[in-house]
Amino acid sequence: MRLFSGIAASPGIAMGRLCIIDRRRAVVTEYQINSESVNHEVARLAQAIEDTRIELEVLKTRLAETNGETHLFFIETHLMILADERLITETSEIIRTGMINAEGALRRTLHRYREAFAGIDDPYLRERISDVETVIERVLRNMSGEAIEPLPEQEGQVIIAAHDFSPADMLQINRNNVLAIITEIGGRTSHTAILARALDLPAVMGVEGITDLLLDGVAIIVDGLSGVVIVDPDQETFQTSLRRKQHYEYVEYELLKTAPLPAVTLDGHQVYLRGNVEIPEEGASILNHGGDGVGLYRTEMLFMNRLCMPDEEEQVAIYRSMQEAVAPHTLTIRTLDAGGDKLLDGMDQASEINPALGVRAIRLSLSMPDEFKKQLRAILRVSADGPIRIMFPMISGIEEVRRAKALLQEAKQELVDSGTRFDSAAKVGVMIEIPAAVTLADLLAREVDFFSVGTNDLIQYTLAIDRSNEQLSHMYQPLHPAVLRSLRRVVQAAHGAGIPACLCGEMAGDPLYLPVLLGLGFDELSMGAGSILRVKQILRRCTLERAAAIAEGCFAFSTSAEVEMYLKSQITLDVAESID
């Protein structure tokens, strides 16, 4: 028996036989060419890129027929990488100046991209190199005549292990035969991981060397909850994993049955439980888990991993597919929250000494009004076909909201002038993520239709704790008295002005905090799909009155440790069990 550990990328436990898929690099030899061959090599490169484009278009059509439109986003990303002029111009330049063959030059271009991506702090963006690699490997294979094998039809039920497994691969697997996925590279925020979660397929990623060390057919257990892969398990380990799997599936099964139940407390108080999403693929999963639409659509994913900003039509298409995935429920679209550590490739952004306090989110959007209006028009156009809310991130004061709203007004006028339909009454809200916004909440509430508290950032800025610094993670405390006082103030300000108070930070998805958030009076909580049912279960066992008393009780304590102890002592046994 052997144990490998990796990253728990998609929850669930699977046991079965291993099937290794070799998606390794095409074999490339670099050699010198003479000056007469330069044009020929450049032409070969162009031809291989074109062949790859056709191949992807064919794959896209085939997948659209078999899987529908919803998962095509990834292939479109690959087509966009391929369409980037720089790929061909930079590689041709290497062919010309280095006098080397096209394959060697393309490999060097890939190397440059790898170096550039490796220097990116944001893990989501950094992992986007895997899309570039997949595309370039395809081109290389086309140049060498080594076609990418379609995935072999899996015999019986298997667990697939691959060095890398592209999103396109993911979409080709036969869901009835594949029980889980293991990859050697990639992480939780890779597209493949996002898709695995959207498809409810357990996955462990970043398991180094697994495809070299193991042979096809070996018995294997994949634990997507703990990130462990067990090879050739002994009888006892097998039984323990089996019980763990059964328990997990039983809880999931029981929870899924509750998906259609309303999110109401025992005393009949309704709270909207909504989902946080990044890509349209996640929309269906929100509804399957009983979510009431989307409370936070992080649009920045659409702007990343590319060299130019998406145009209005492309944005409309993506927002529309998200809207269709969650119809007829509300879709809350947050305008671009980039900048800081989330740099966009297509923009010239000066590097900042303190990016978390830099040109981020709404500040960035306001600094490029044409791009901002393009996004606003795209959102508004989609609003014609279903309930859409528009949300501005990182608002620090009244001027920012007013400027954002003025640009929204201009975008509306432009649509009116061109005779384009939109919902003129689409709700407009702000995220409360900066302490100044908490202090000004009463004034801000007069300007907008709803608040949504982004606790991930609000905690970061209130406590001056970098949210991505593991060394400070013990100080990142949602129950810190300063945070709780801020939350109370925001809800009071919202209700004072007659607008709803929502919360869409990670705090919303932790069942332990539910009684406090409910008791403070939040009207809506938005979280990852996987958390909705657990939170709903606790909600349905509480009364608003009791939650309000628990929340009030929290304010008697002066440290987060005390608040946490108090909170745990207040939660009744059956509620505590479901939290475990």
> Applying CB under 5 A, which residues contact Mg ion?
433, 454, 457
Report in angstroms how near the CB of residue 433 gets to ligand PEP at its nearest: 5
Q: Is 504 a catalytic residue?
A: yes
CA 225 to chain centre: 18
CA 162 to chain centre: 22
Report in angstroms how near the CB of residue 526 gets to ligand PEP at its nearest: 8
- Strand ranges (E), 129-202: 158-162, 178-183
Rounded-to-integer distance, Cα 232 and Cα 219, Å:
5
Question: Which segment (42-50, 241-249, 453-461, 529-537) binds ligand PEP by CB under 6 A?
Answer: 453-461
Q: What is the DSSP string of 331-348?
A: EEEEP---BTTB--TTS-
Q: Which residue, 6 or 454, has its beta carbon nearer to Mg ion?
A: 454
The interface partner of residue 298, options being ligand PEP, Mg ion, none and the CB cut-off 5 to 8 Å by kind, is ligand PEP
Report in angstroms how near the CB of residue 456 gets to Mg ion at its nearest: 5
Report in angstroms how near the CB of residue 296 gets to ligand PEP at its nearest: 6
Q: Which residue, 138 or 389, has its beta carbon nearer to ligand PEP?
A: 389
206 binds ligand PEP (CB under 6 A): no
Q: Which residue, 12 or 454, has its beta carbon nearer to ligand PEP?
A: 454
Pairing mode, if any, of strands 524-527 and 272-277? parallel
Binding mask 409-438 vs ligand PEP (x if CB under 6 A, - otherwise)? ------------------------x-----
The interface partner of residue 329, options being Mg ion, ligand PEP, none and the CB cut-off 5 to 8 Å by kind, is none
Report in angstroms how near the CB of residue 436 gets to ligand PEP at its nearest: 15
Report in angstroms how near the CB of residue 150 gets to ligand PEP at its nearest: 37
Report in angstroms how near the CB of residue 393 gets to Mg ion at its nearest: 6
Using CB under 6 A, which of 41, 282, 337, 447 touches ligand PEP? 337
Report in angstroms how near the CB of residue 455 gets to ligand PEP at its nearest: 5
The interface partner of residue 341, options being Mg ion, ligand PEP, none and the CB cut-off 5 to 8 Å by kind, is none
Q: Report the b/e string of 154-175 with b at 16+ CB within 10 A.
A: beebbbbbbbbbbbbbbbebee
Q: What is the DSSP string of 91-118?
A: HHHHHHHHTB-HHHHHHHHHHHHHHHHH
Report in angstroms how near the CB of residue 504 gets to ligand PEP at its nearest: 5
Q: Name the residue whose CB lies closest to ligand PEP.
A: 454
Helical H runs in 224-294?
Answer: 235-257, 283-288
- Strand ranges (E), 437-480: 450-453
Provide the 8-state DSSP code for 264: B
- Strand ranges (E), 278-323: 294-298
CB contact at 8 A, 95 and 42:
yes
Q: Which residue, 227 or 340, has its beta carbon nearer to Mg ion?
A: 340
Q: Which residue, 143 or 434, has its beta carbon nearer to Mg ion?
A: 434
Q: Which residue, 337 or 523, has its beta carbon nearer to ligand PEP?
A: 337
Using CB under 6 A, which of 224, 454, 478, 500 touches ligand PEP? 454
189 binds ligand PEP (CB under 6 A): no
CB contact at 8 A, 542 and 518:
yes
Interacting positions 28-47 with ligand PEP (CB under 6 A): none
Provide the 8-state DSSP code for 37: G
Q: What is the DSSP string of 231-244?
A: ES--HHHHHHHHHH
Using CB under 6 A, which of 160, 210, 296, 380 touches ligand PEP? 296
Residue whose C-alpha is closest to residue 335's, from 359, 361, 301, 357: 361
Using CB under 6 A, which of 189, 455, 462, 537 touches ligand PEP? 455
Q: Which residue, 500 or 505, has its beta carbon nearer to Mg ion?
A: 505
Q: Which residue, 185 or 344, has its beta carbon nearer to ligand PEP?
A: 344
Kindly determine how many residues on this chain lie close enough to bind ligand PEP according to the rule CB under 6 A: 10
Question: Which segment (21-29, 62-70, 251-259, 450-458) binds ligand PEP by CB under 6 A?
Answer: 450-458
Residue whose C-alpha is closest to residue 72's, from 262, 296, 320: 320
Rounded-to-integer distance, Cα 421 and Cα 379, Å:
11
Q: Which residue, 280 or 509, has its beta carbon nearer to ligand PEP?
A: 509
- Chain length of the chain: 580
Using CB under 6 A, which of 298, 374, 534, 546 touches ligand PEP? 298
Q: Which residue, 499 or 504, has its beta carbon nearer to ligand PEP?
A: 504
Cα dihedral sign, 14-206-280-504:
positive
Using CB under 6 A, which of 72, 178, 504, 518 touches ligand PEP? 504
Residue whose C-alpha is closest to residue 512's, from 553, 461, 476, 478: 478
CA contacts within 13 A on the Cβ side of 108: 19
The interface partner of residue 339, options being Mg ion, ligand PEP, none and the CB cut-off 5 to 8 Å by kind, is none
Candidates 191, 269, 289, 480; catalytic one? 191
Rounded-to-integer distance, Cα 434 and Cα 524, Å:
19
The interface partner of residue 296, options being ligand PEP, Mg ion, none and the CB cut-off 5 to 8 Å by kind, is ligand PEP
The interface partner of residue 505, options being ligand PEP, Mg ion, none and the CB cut-off 5 to 8 Å by kind, is ligand PEP
Contacting residues for 74 by C-beta, under 8 A, at least 6 apart? 131, 166, 167, 168, 170, 171, 191, 195
Q: In one letter, which amino acid is 564?
A: E
Candidates 71, 163, 329, 504; catalytic one? 504
CA 465 to chain centre: 23
Using CB under 6 A, which of 505, 511, 519, 521 touches ligand PEP? 505
457 binds ligand PEP (CB under 6 A): yes
Q: What is the DSSP string of 366-433?
A: HHSHHHHHHHHHHHHHHHTTS-EEEEE-S--SHHHHHHHHHHHHHHHHHHHHTT----TT-EEEEEE-
Report in angstroms how near the CB of residue 437 gets to ligand PEP at its nearest: 12
Rounded-to-integer distance, Cα 223 and Cα 232, Å:
14
Q: Where does this chain bind ligand PEP (CB under 6 A)?
A: 296, 298, 337, 433, 454-457, 504-505
**Known catalytic residues?**
191, 504
